[in-house]
A and B are shown apart, each in its own frame.
Chain A
Amino acid sequence: EPEVTQTPSHQVTQMGQEVILRCVPISNHLYFYWYRQILGQKVEFLVSFYNNEISEKSEIFDDQFSVERPDGSNFTLKIRSTKLEDSAMYFCASSEAGQGYGYTFGSGTRLTVV
């Protein structure tokens, strides 16, 4: 069964450093998403991406965050200057035809900011 692949599975970074979280969505999917889950809290929407541009973003997704689809297969989330409160599990998801059809989520990247 096709799956969404995320790397790395766990990343530890110093506060203030830049991190890039990588995702390979399912190949025929057109919609891409990032969500995060702070430990013990609910899964929160960060951003959706379609047709090479952001289609929607949450208030969490401020200027420190950016997304990119650099080569037609990868989908990345960059955090420019990490804060302690960015520590969370970050999930990438993709969908063939939008959120109404349901997503396929990756296994997540656990980001720890120290």
Chain B
Amino acid sequence: AQSVTQPDIHITVSEGASLELRCNYSYGATPYLFWYVQSPGQGLQLLLKYFSGDTLVQGIKGFEAEFKRSQSSFNLRKPSVHWSDAAEYFCAVGAPSTDKLIFGTGTRLQVFP
């Protein structure tokens, strides 16, 4: 069965600093991998996704993520964080054999000016 771990519950960074949010997954084959962002009172917005091919994926809002099969990881990165990036970030995993996504517990990002 698939599972997702986001080890960091809460991360605080200064505006302009770089960011890396960690995500580890468990799945026997190559999964579908996603990052979603949730601002307070809002729904979940898709940042980026990985199915196959190039392991470095570019998303919206300047985010990117890298799939590393050897580490079962799909970490989200941004070179320079903006105050508007403060939100909750969810990693999710899917698979061809199922119709559902399994979400991690989320990482809350706080940005200081």
A residues adjacent to B (C-beta < 8 A): 4, 6, 31, 33, 35, 41-45, 48, 50, 55-56, 58, 91, 93, 98-108
Contact = CB atoms under 8 A, between A and B. Distances in A.
B99 A48 contact: yes
A89 to B, nearest CB: 9
17 contacts: A4-B43, A6-B43, A31-B99, A33-B100, A35-B101, A42-B106, A43-B92, A56-B100, A98-B99, A99-B32, A100-B32, A100-B51, A101-B49, A102-B49, A105-B36, A106-B43, A107-B41
Interface of B: 32, 34, 36, 41-46, 49, 51, 90, 92, 94, 96, 98-106
Contacts of B46: 102-104
B109 to A, nearest CB: 17
Nearest to B6: A42
B3 to A, nearest CB: 11
